[in-house]
Amino acid sequence: MRISAAIFDLDGTLANTALIHKEAWEIGLKKLGIVTNVKIEYLLGRKTSDIAKLLAGERWKELVEVKNKEYLHLVETKAEATKCAKEVTSYLIQKFVKIAVVTSSNRISATKVLSKIGVNYDVLVTSDDVMKGKPDPEPIVTALNSLGVMPHESIGVGDTEVDVEAYYNSRLSRIFLVKSGVPFSEEKVRSKNAIIIDSLCELFELIS
């Protein structure tokens, strides 16, 4: 497989933080006394503001503020790199493959996590950098433009249906979904030509 760039999601893909986000949302809802029947795990991967609006309605800004504070606190003790994340990114860098991290988290949260897990990258695109978040292709296109590469010479790696759809809409050459504990429809993912892998270790084997 010859590629010029790799686009990685952050939470649940490079870091074990997808379910930490879920925990922070739950704490925020409880602190604000907001009751919802919406299942948070099915919203993961979307922009913070979009999730908050679905969970809290008119009180979404309150929820964002509390959730973000709780998340940063949880990251300090719980955030870790996923298995083989460092190996995969290091290998790609050695092969002169450009790396972009594209996340629905804000820049403060994303940089804190990336600093904690010690993964190197060339470009970081966060929810603060775009008008529309995943599954819209805007964040991916922004990353490709920053890297100076074309979609057909790039791969995308994520852990949610939202990631897969964003990569598919951006016409990346190959898409990988790594299992992280976030629920997804195998049928829907495969319909977008995504390859399902158990961990980034499997991706490491495929690209090396």
CATH of the domain at 12: 3.40.50.1000
Which range of residues forms the domain containing residue 140?
5-16+81-207
Count of domains forming the chain? 2
pLDDT surpasses 70 at 173: yes
- Of 64, 148, 63, nearest in space to 98 by CA: 148
164 and 138 in a common domain:
yes
Residues 6+ apart with CB under 8 A from 113: 10, 11, 15, 17, 75, 79, 105
102 and 179 in a common domain:
yes
Put simply, whether the predicted model's pTM sits higher than 0.75 gets the answer: yes
144 and 68 in a common domain:
no
Residues 6+ apart with CB under 8 A from 165: 134, 135, 192
For residues 70, 178, 189, 205, the Cα torsion angle rounded to the nearest 10 degrees is 160
122 and 30 in a common domain:
no
Q: What is the pLDDT of residue 1?
A: 58
111 and 170 in a common domain:
yes
Please tell me the distance from the alpha carbon of residue 134 to that of residue 42, in angstroms, as a whole number. 14
- Average pLDDT, rounded, for the chain: 95
Handedness of CA 117, 196, 105, 121 (dihedral sign): positive
156 and 62 in a common domain:
no
139 and 197 in a common domain:
yes
User: How confident is the model over 52-111, as pLDDT tens digits?
Assistant: 999 999 999 999 999 999 999 999 999 999 999 999 999 999 999 999 999 999 999 999
122 and 103 in a common domain:
yes
Q: What is the pLDDT of residue 89?
A: 96
